[in-house]
Amino acid sequence: MTAVTALTDQPEHNRSRWDDGLIARRSGPGENGGPGGPGDDPEDGDTHALLRAVSGTSRPDPAPPVPAPSPENMSLRVRLDALRQLVGLSRTRLDGKTLAEAGRVLDEAAARRGLSPRHTVVAIAGATGSGKSTLFNALAQVQISDTGLRRPTTSAPIACSWSDGAAGLLDRLEIPGRLRRRPRDAGNTDEAMRGLVLIDLPDHDSAVVAHREHVDRVLSLVDAVIWVVDPEKYADAVLHERYLRPLSGHAEITFVVLNQIDRLPGESADLVLDDLRRLLDEDGMALGEHGEPGAMVFALSALTGEGVGELRDTLGQFTVERGAATRRLSADVDRAALRLRPLYVADGRPEIGEGARAEFEDRLAEAVGAHAAGLAAERAWRRNAGKACGTPWLRLWRWYELRRSPQRIAQRLAFGSSPEPPPEEEVTARQRVEQAVRTVADEAAAGLPEPWALAVRETAVRGAERLPEMLDELAVTAGTPPGKPPRPAWWPAAVLSQAAMTLLQIYGGLWLVGQIAGVLEPGLTVPVLLMVAGIIGGPLVEWTCSVAARGPARRYGQEAESRLRQAAAGCGRGKVLEPVAAELLRYREVREQYATVARLSTTGR
């Protein structure tokens, strides 16, 4: 029997269930909850129950064995999980429109993987007059889809299924029950065709917008596509530029059929077929020749039946493998990954180099005045040594000068020999901090994809908002060493020596005064020698102490500079470098997830 089962061929009590010989809509639980086992329709379970009642046995049907997941399926699962994490990690860095395609792939993958894995949905698409419906009927071996000269002939997708359990898939394609067909002899068909669901689509170049929308929607959901072309429009630009070229990554689930070869005389069919292969190659679509994976190309005549059997056998084998859905989803992930590649892959390395860190810390130390603080601490140490080891007459003169002009002496003591204070440094210091932050941010963001480079720069600028004020506080708290500078071990001996030189001067002077007053016997040699020894020895002791104080003073100043430098560097690390490093770590995590999605090596740039 080659006709579709008619309503009049069924008993009266079945007419309410089977609508004009069409596949019944699902009315019970979902794919996995039907009485007939996973993926079966409730009606199928009712049929089994009726058969058991007739045969007088209540033994339940054995559940179909659950096949072990293939490596291809496992790989797809890993990639989908990575894509889901990729989208989650990127939501705050990329806009929703950019991630929409990846989100759609995840949604469609979840929907398809929740439906029957035993069925393969194949759509037949083509241009007006290419013979899609004729090929559809030839593959189904029954007159299902209308054919004729009127254009367009097919106005809505029509489905043909050879077995139960495909209702959920057809609901997902939004194909109503009145357009779902089953051949009457579907139960006697060969096993290879039992999992096939064939869809006849409207013309992709139809003048009716709704028809083109049907085509685009269904093509994004089916497991495989048969593109039907004819000798006149096989090179149509709309077909190649709108469909075949964008879907070149889906070559493994694509069949290209050159129909109506009965119209080509002699070797013309081979010439047209070769030219069609050339166009597909230019579209970037790999061809499945010589055992390699890729699109299969056929030449046939749906009207005469020439070559239809070969296509039908290939579809049967393709259905038995049950890998079309996985390949389709994997190709969708590949396409989404290709579109996202500029947002995740670039030539830069996500790290802050040691040179950039050192330069950043140097700039902060310069901004906080670490070197000037070290010099000030060194001068303070030497000044303290001069007070303790200098001659009393020099200290008396400095006291007099300080009383006479306190401001001038204070400037000299603070800034050395220059009587003028340095220019105001507040604005310059802030500018240096901002320049340091921009430099290290640019260094860290160099070569990164633009969204992540922008995120790195924003993180650095946000962290540096209060950095100048914090450095000012550090200059006050950490820049001034607490207490007085420490005294070396030789300091008491130097003080005693200076005191001895002073006593010699006083003793020699009093001796001379006594001689002049006639109290003591005349004799200038000894008192003069004592005074000369004191006068020369005092400055000599002071000079010796100043020379000996250079080393300790320099070390004291270097310690003060290092302390302030480390404090400024720690502040810069906490406010800028660590947040930037965290942002780069986030990018590395995202990049690793993208590498899993795109099947790239994580060791490459």
For residue 198, being part of any structural domain is answered with yes
pTM exceeds 0.75, yes or no: no
Residues 335 and 441 in one domain: no
Residue 78 resides in a domain? yes
CA-wise closest residue to 199 among 175, 183, 230: 175
Residue bearing the bigger pLDDT, 188 or 170? 170
The more confidently predicted of residues 168 and 505 is 168
286, 367: one domain: no
Give residue 225's pLDDT. 97
pLDDT of amino acid 319: 92
Highest mean pLDDT among 281-295, 368-382, 407-421, 546-560: 281-295
327 plus 387 within the same structural domain: no
Last-in-domain residue among 274, 306, 321:
321
- Do residues 301 and 391 both lie within one domain? no
Query: Using CA atoms, how far apart are residues 460 and 452, in angstroms rounded to an integer?
Result: 12
Average pLDDT over residues 187-199: 81
pLDDT of residue 94: 84
95 CB neighbour count, 10 Å cutoff = 10
Q: What is the DSSP string of 528-595?
A: HHHHHHHHHHHHHHHHHHHHHHHHHHHHHHHHHHHHHHHHHHHHHIIIIIHHHHHHHHHHHHHHHHHH
In a domain, 541, yes or no: no
277 and 417 both lie in a single domain: no
Predicted confidence (pLDDT) at residue 42 exceeds the cutoff of 80: no
Same domain, 330 and 359: no
User: For residues 357 and 351, what is the distance between their CA atoms, to the nearest angstrom?
Assistant: 10
Over residues 227-256, the mean pLDDT reads: 94
Shared domain for 370 and 409, answered yes or no, is yes
In terms of domains, do 478 and 591 share one? Answer: yes
**One domain for residues 253 and 285:** yes
Number of domains, the chain:
3
Lowest mean pLDDT among 129-143, 261-275, 396-410, 528-542: 396-410
The pLDDT of 506-533, averaged and rounded, is 77
Amino acid 199: pLDDT = 95
User: How far is Cα 36 from Cα 490, in angstroms, rounded to an integer?
Assistant: 102
| DSSP sequence for 339-384 | HHHHHH--SS-SS--HHHHHHHHHHHHHHHTHHHHHHHHHHHHHHH
Rounded Cα–Cα distance for residues 329 and 220 (Å): 10
DSSP-derived letter for residue 240 is: I
Nearest residue to 252 via CA among 343, 164, 173, 325? 325
Phi, psi for residue 196 in degrees, rounded to 5? -85, 135
59 part of a folded domain = no
Domain that holds residue 424: 354-488+559-598
Do 86 and 124 belong to one domain? no
**Confidence band (pLDDT; 50, 70, 90) for 184?**
low
pLDDT tens per residue, range 428-456: 578 888 888 898 998 888 888 988 899 99
484 assigned to some structural domain: yes
Are 272 and 338 contained in the same domain? Answer: no
Do both 129 and 75 map to the same domain?
A: no
The CATH number linked to 168 is: 3.40.50.300
Average pLDDT over residues 171-187: 83
% of the chain surpassing 70 pLDDT: 75
Mean pLDDT of 222-244: 94
